């Protein structure tokens, strides 16, 4: 049993899930969040089957069943709306669990229920000093208060403070892509997730509720020129005005600018896990492009792995096992998310037609990745790994 508390920095998807696992496993912890209250950026979130499996493991199965929208098919089309490729999500190995989606606010509400009182808001870390059997943390409060913890877990997202303070190589890579996200009301009875691929551009419409659609649009913009305008409606009309199909319909019912969330795609250059008694979970350690929509799944698998290892081993052993167990899968996910993104984002029409041809033969890009991912079950493998290493 660990006597010193473990500090979780960040109350996003990874931090909230980790706090819940620690509570379930009786591992003492504190959780801090730099914002003044819980909030979520972004519009919708798509959760592939391995994310849903991990959520069930943590204890959210019922909430997901009740609040998320199931999708059954993935469609890739060209910018006119002509279908290039489609795949059912109800076939093996994709049917390992449901593919669902919901509004991010709803997802955060589920993750934080019962935890809000435990979170120290308006708090972040100023300094981390590794000691002989823990970590001395200085906080950002008036007194610069200090406390020693058994370990610090950075669950503080792509701009992780823990990564910056405890890891020497904490670089981010800008993928050269400007994005916009929003949700809108639209009947979803006949809508399945649809990705419309054009040279240097992608538009996605993803149903997240009975009458609610999550839209994502990106364009290759290495100089970040799009950030010069805050008129997102005008930018979207300029970039995607030539699109047909569902994109055209979505552009006709765009919400006001304040409800459209702009952003850039950035990745952690090289996945990072452990440095002394500091560890990273979720985007803090391995943010990557959303090509495979593995952000939540990967964060939740990190969280389950780390918490179960901490339950069974000393902190030092658990952290070593965490890196060893997670590296291969996380490296594969980040490479398979950023690789195809880099390939499709800067293509001319001739390369695009080769990619489209390949997609006709092999199926939608993301489904190809999910087939490989869902052929194995890291949660079952974890239990075997712990059994083998506890001897």
Ligand X SMILES: Cc1cc2nc3c(=O)[nH]c(=O)nc-3n(C[C@H](O)[C@H](O)[C@H](O)COP(=O)(O)OP(=O)(O)OC[C@H]3O[C@@H](n4cnc5c(N)ncnc54)[C@H](O)[C@@H]3O)c2cc1C
Tokens of 4: 């010193």
Does position 304 interact with ligand X (CB under 6 A)? The reply is no
Q: Which of 20, 161, 232, 329 contacts ligand X by CB under 6 A?
A: 161
Q: Which of 283, 308, 323, 338 contacts ligand X by CB under 6 A?
A: 283
Q: What is the contact mask toward ligand X in residues 239 to 278, using x (rule: CB under 6 A)?
A: ------------------------x-x-------------
Tokens of 347: 């293509």
> Whose structure tokens read 């990190």?
302
161 Cβ neighbours under 8 A, 6+ residues apart? 9, 34, 124, 125, 154
Does position 178 interact with ligand X (CB under 6 A)? The reply is no
Residue 155: CB minimum distance to ligand X, A:
5
Cα–Cα distance for residue pair 180/357, rounded to 1 Å:
27
Is 211 in a helix, a strand, or coil? coil
> Whose structure tokens read 């009182």?
117
* Closer Cβ to ligand X, 87 or 299, answer by number: 299
Tokens of 383: 């239990």
Does position 226 interact with ligand X (CB under 6 A)? The reply is no
Does position 177 interact with ligand X (CB under 6 A)? The reply is no
Q: Which of 12, 134, 150, 207 contacts ligand X by CB under 6 A?
A: 12
Does position 221 interact with ligand X (CB under 6 A)? The reply is no
212 Cβ neighbours under 8 A, 6+ residues apart? 44, 69, 103, 183, 184, 185, 186, 188
Other beta carbons less than 10 A from residue 168's beta carbon: 7
# binding residues, ligand X (CB under 6 A): 33
Q: Which of 282, 363, 364, 369 contacts ligand X by CB under 6 A?
A: 282
Contacts of ligand X in 45-64 (CB under 6 A) = 45-47, 51
Residue 99: CB minimum distance to ligand X, A:
11
Check if the beta carbon of residue 125 is closer than 8 Å to that of residue 119.
Answer: no
Q: Which of 6, 7, 11, 184 contacts ligand X by CB under 6 A?
A: 11
Q: Which of 296, 319, 359, 367 contacts ligand X by CB under 6 A?
A: 296
Tokens of 45: 């979130």
Q: Which of 170, 183, 219, 293 contacts ligand X by CB under 6 A?
A: 293
**Greatest Cα-to-Cα distance within the chain, rounded to the nearest angstrom:** 62
Choose the binding region for ligand X from 4-12, 71-79, 223-231, 235-243 (rule: CB under 6 A). Answer: 4-12
Check if the beta carbon of residue 175 is closer than 8 Å to that of residue 341.
Answer: yes
Q: Which of 5, 34, 233, 358 contacts ligand X by CB under 6 A?
A: 34
Cα–Cα distance for residue pair 200/343, rounded to 1 Å:
10
Does position 21 interact with ligand X (CB under 6 A)? The reply is no
User: What are phi and psi for residue 31, nearest 5 degrees?
Assistant: -130, 130
Question: How does strand 44-47 pair with strand 73-78?
Answer: unpaired
Choose the binding region for ligand X from 30-38, 60-68, 84-92, 322-330 (rule: CB under 6 A). Answer: 30-38
Check if the beta carbon of residue 101 is closer than 8 Å to that of residue 208.
Answer: yes
Q: Which of 35, 109, 120, 324 contacts ligand X by CB under 6 A?
A: 35
Residues in touch with ligand X (CB under 6 A): 9-15, 32-35, 45-47, 51, 124, 155-157, 161, 179, 181, 263, 265, 282-284, 290, 293, 295-297, 299
């Amino acid at each position: 049993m660990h006597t010193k508390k473990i500090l979780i920095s960040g109350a996003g998807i990874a931090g909230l899930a980790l706090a819940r696992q620690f509570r379930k496993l009786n591992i003492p912890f504190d959780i801090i969040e730099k914002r003044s209250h819980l909030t979520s950026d972004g519009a919708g979130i798509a959760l592939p089957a391995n994310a849903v499996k991990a959520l069930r493991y943590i204890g959210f199965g019922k909430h997901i069943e009740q609040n998320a929208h199931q999708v059954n098919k993935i469609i890739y089309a060209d910018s006119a709306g002509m279908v290039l490729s489609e795949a059912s999500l109800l076939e093996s190995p994709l049917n390992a669990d449901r593919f669902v989606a919901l509004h991010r606010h709803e997802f955060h509400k589920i993750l934080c229920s019962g935890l809000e009182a435990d979170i120290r808001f308006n708090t972040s870390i100023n300094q981390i000093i590794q000691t002989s059997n823990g970590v001395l943390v200085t906080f950002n409060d008036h007194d610069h208060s200090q406390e020693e913890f058994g370990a610090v877990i950075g669950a503080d997202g792509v701009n992780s403070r823990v990564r910056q303070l405890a890891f020497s190589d904490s670089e981010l890579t800008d993928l050269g892509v400007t994005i916009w996200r929003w949700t809108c009301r639209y009947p979803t009875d006949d809508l399945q997730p649809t990705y419309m691929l054009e040279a240097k551009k992608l538009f996605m419409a993803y149903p997240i509720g009975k009458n609610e659609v999550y839209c994502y649009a990106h364009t290759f913009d290495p100089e970040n020129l799009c950030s010069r305008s805050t008129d997102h409606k005008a930018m979207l009309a300029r970039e995607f005005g030539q699109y047909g199909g569902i994109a055209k319909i979505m552009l006709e019912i765009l919400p006001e600018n304040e409800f459209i969330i702009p952003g850039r795609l950035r990745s952690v250059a090289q996945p990072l896990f452990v440095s002394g008694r500091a560890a990273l979970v979720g985007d803090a350690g391995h943010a990557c492009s959303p090509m495979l929509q593995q952000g939540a799944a990967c964060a939740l698998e990190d969280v389950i792995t780390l918490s179960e290892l901490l339950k069974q081993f000393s902190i030092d052993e658990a952290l070593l096992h965490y890196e060893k167990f997670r590296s291969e899968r996380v490296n594969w996910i980040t490479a398979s998310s950023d690789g195809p993104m880099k390939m499709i984002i800067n293509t001319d029409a001739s390369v695009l037609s080769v990619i489209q041809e390949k997609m006709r033969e092999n199926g939608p890009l993301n489904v190809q990745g999910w087939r490989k991912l869902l052929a194995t079950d890291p949660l079952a493998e974890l239990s075997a790994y712990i059994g083998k290493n506890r001897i």
